[in-house]
Structure 1
Amino acid sequence: MKFLEKIDFHKIAIMPVIRWQFKLALIFIALLTVIVIIFQTQIVVQDIIEKETNLIKSYSKILESLEDPNFENIEFSLLLNDQILPNISFPMILTDDKNEPLFPFQSNIRNIEIDSTKSLPDQREFLKAKIVDMAQTYEPIVIKDHNGKILSKIYYNNSDLVTALQLYPFLAVIGVIVLLTIGYIIFSSVRRNEESKVWVGMSKEAAHQLGTPLSSLLAWMEILRLNIDEPRAISETLSEMDNDVNRMKTIANRFSKIGSKPELENEHIFYVIDAACNYVEKRLPHLGRKVEIIRDFPKEKVVVEMNVDLFTWVMENLIKNAAESIEDENGRIRVSMRVTGKKVVIFVKDNGKGMTNKIKKQIFVPGFTTKKRGWGLGLSLSKRIIEDYHQGKIWVEDTFPGKGTTFVIEIPVITSS
């Protein structure tokens, strides 16, 4: 089953889903980021505006109090000079009741740069233009005497900090769009590179797997030519050629079913599992150790709905993994089966090296492997075949370092007799 260990079938099967999930995740994160930025920025902006408004109102009240000849204004003068004016960080212009800037200009404005080299009329026009702009943002605060007569007005606007914060969400949106664009470009580049690697790997492995029976067929054809006059030899050779053709068909069927929904048919599960055991058993000598496969199946006929090619693939993968985990010369793999209610439960138990809890938790994760060779997709793909295609379950029931491992498969039963 080297074909399954090296080829990243799982990535090909789920690649369209991953692409859409990745794009949706990027969009969701971007929208969430923008919403959070706007929400938080608005809270900060409103808080600053409220503080600035309260400050300008306090300033106006002090000015009104200072205009009252009957009011003791020493403390208010100190408050104005020590706490109010130093904290005004926003543009402000003090005018008379007719909206004309009060003279001297420098004493009645805050946080506005005025060109002192220009004439007084030019300075006045400059300030009047500022007053018009300020009036579009906030209504002026009117200062009256104790008789209700308008003495002056305070025009003001947002501070530079508030203006910057109000622009920040727009800059954040632009930044998010740029990040999304960069992320999409990077993802597309990685995806194209990954697809290229996967398809190259699949092509090589497909050629390798198909090459074995093809080479055998060429050899059988040569034998046919050499034994053209011997009917018995021809019959045996044709039988072997038929086996190789069937093997090629099996490889092609497995290859074509990756990423598509396979057709399921009612099958006697005993024969399917036994065939998988036989296939691996004939190839165990290549592992350089003695491994016995023990079969323990019930006598009754158990029919399940399955895809034979893919289910055999899973069984071969589990049995082969079990054989490779055995370090003892006298290894044993017990493949057993029992029917429980409307489920058939299959056990693949070995006396191999076992695994730790940490490895057990990751054993079905795509890409995880403890082998020096392989892509770590055999078990993750097996899980997908059992759970997604056969509506079953697969898990590690029992394992411990040095004590072996037991894999369990559970799938629905159609009939049992």
Structure 2
Amino acid sequence: MRQYINWKTYLILVALAIVGTSLLYTNKLAAELEEEEKKGVHHLVEGLKTMATATDPNATQFAATVVDANETIPLILTDEHDEVLYTSNIDSSRLKRNKDYLNEQIVDYKAQNRVIVMDYGFGKQKIYYGESYLLTQLRYYPYIQLGIIFLFLFVVLVALTSAHRSLQNQVWVGMSKETAHQLGTPLSSIEAWLELLKDNEANTEAVAEMQKDLDRLKLVADRFGKVGSTPKLVEENLIERLRFMTEYMQKRAPSKVTIAMDSPENNIPVNMSGPLFDWVVENLIRNALDAMDGKGRIDIKVTNRHDHVNIDVCDTGKGMPKHQVAKIFNPGYTTKKRGWGLGLSLARRIIQKYHHGSIFVKTSEPGKGTTFRITLKHEHKK
């Protein structure tokens, strides 16, 4: 997963480098083109001056040729009071739509200091000039390019993320089905041996507890064998299931560990897949037991809200630093010497994908313990 994230980061950095280089180069070209256009405007001014003052017909004709050669730079010639005398390369369609377009352009050019004052001895005139269409497009081009590249990156990342999730789904389904398949044979054997033990009345209590374990394993194996298909959610009393898991795990916990449940209500109906939800709670409790070294306390606190219910699993174990909390749900990440690091990842998948809820680390502090929170939606009863 880390390599995948880094690969996406490198892709974005490369794209930014390309856009940054293009932006710098395009701005350089725009600056050079702007300088050339300014020189062109000054040549036009000289041409107009020559046309107004020269007595040589050839000089006048040459100056007129220079002036007429301008087909790109917008020009507005005014008197000293900004009354328009002549225009060149002005968008006629905009003039038709907006009668004040020329005045607006004059104000805009004046603000940009794009004006040249001419004095031929018989009154001052002003030439206001703008940017050619090519220069304007050149200035906007890098940003358009930036938008296109980021749009392309977005599409690529969405496609890669979708493919990654699809592959992850296939891995989860394959592992779950294989686990269920591998559990099938030993479970059948255990069930057969358990039937033999039932004949011995001295083992009645132990056999009853073993039967509970076997039944739970069979339920979990059956549900894992159907991973990939959407589980059927049935309305159940959340409190009853949590009480069952509390009692079930208390009997299997070390003698110096207390597992307690606190709920202000006795009946909170929630749509759920019972075996999968039980497995999630069991996984959280077992992780808490592993973090407490044989002694401590685990509290399961239920808080009922208007449209959801919060289940907090709190322990007095070792706790986790922030960098571990950020990775705790990543597939393959584990703080134990043994284990695959898939339990919490699968728990999150069960809660989020199948139950449309959420599971996260609410609080954790080294030496003080950890609190996991599960949030499930439910219909509010009036």
User: What TM-score comes out, normalization by structure 2 length?
Assistant: 0.52
Aligned residue pairs, count: 300
Root mean square deviation of aligned Cα:
6.0
- AA aligned to 1:320 is R
> Is the Cα contact below 8 Å between 2:307 and 2:378 reproduced in 1?
yes
Q: Aligned pair in 2 of structure 1 residues 401, 256: CA closer, same or farther (>3 Å)?
A: same
Aligned to 2:279: 313
> Is the Cα contact below 8 Å between 2:325 and 2:361 reproduced in 1?
yes
Cα deviations by residue, 1:168-219 (Å, 9 ceiling, x for unpaired): 99xx99xx8xx98x99999999889878866664455334443441332454
The 5 Å alignment of 1:1-400 reads 44-55=28-39, 145-148=58-61, 201-202=175-176, 204-217=178-191, 219=193, 223=196, 244=214, 247-257=217-227, 260=230, 262-284=231-253, 290-298=256-264, 300-327=266-293, 329-337=294-302, 339=304, 344-364=309-329, 368-386=333-351, 389-390=354-355, 392-400=357-365
Unaligned runs of 5+ residues in structure 1 are 1-7, 9-17, 72-143, 156-161
> Is the Cα contact below 8 Å between 1:293 and 1:332 reproduced in 2?
yes
Aligned to 1:104: none
> Is the Cα contact below 8 Å between 2:306 and 2:380 reproduced in 1?
no
- AA aligned to 1:256 is K
> Is the Cα contact below 8 Å between 1:303 and 1:415 reproduced in 2?
no
Flag the structure with more relative contact order, 1 or 2, with Cα contacts below 8 A and sequence separation at least 6.
1
1:326 CA displacement: 0.5
> Is the Cα contact below 8 Å between 1:303 and 1:416 reproduced in 2?
no
> Hey, what's the Cα distance between the residues in 2 that align with 1:351 and 1:210?
36
Aligned to 1:85: none
> Hey, what's the Cα distance between the residues in 2 that align with 1:200 and 1:248?
18
1:278 CA displacement: 4.2
Q: Aligned pair in 2 of structure 1 residues 186, 53: CA closer, same or farther (>3 Å)?
A: same
> Is the Cα contact below 8 Å between 1:351 and 1:403 reproduced in 2?
yes
Q: Aligned pair in 2 of structure 1 residues 258, 387: CA closer, same or farther (>3 Å)?
A: same
> Hey, what's the Cα distance between the residues in 2 that align with 1:151 and 1:337?
90
Which secondary structure state, in structure 1, belongs to the residue aligned with residue 290 of structure 2? Answer: helix
- AA aligned to 1:352 is G
Q: Aligned pair in 2 of structure 1 residues 349, 152: CA closer, same or farther (>3 Å)?
A: closer
User: What TM-score comes out, normalization by structure 1 length?
Assistant: 0.49
> Is the Cα contact below 8 Å between 2:309 and 2:377 reproduced in 1?
yes
> Is the Cα contact below 8 Å between 1:333 and 1:348 reproduced in 2?
yes
Which has the larger Rg?
A: 1
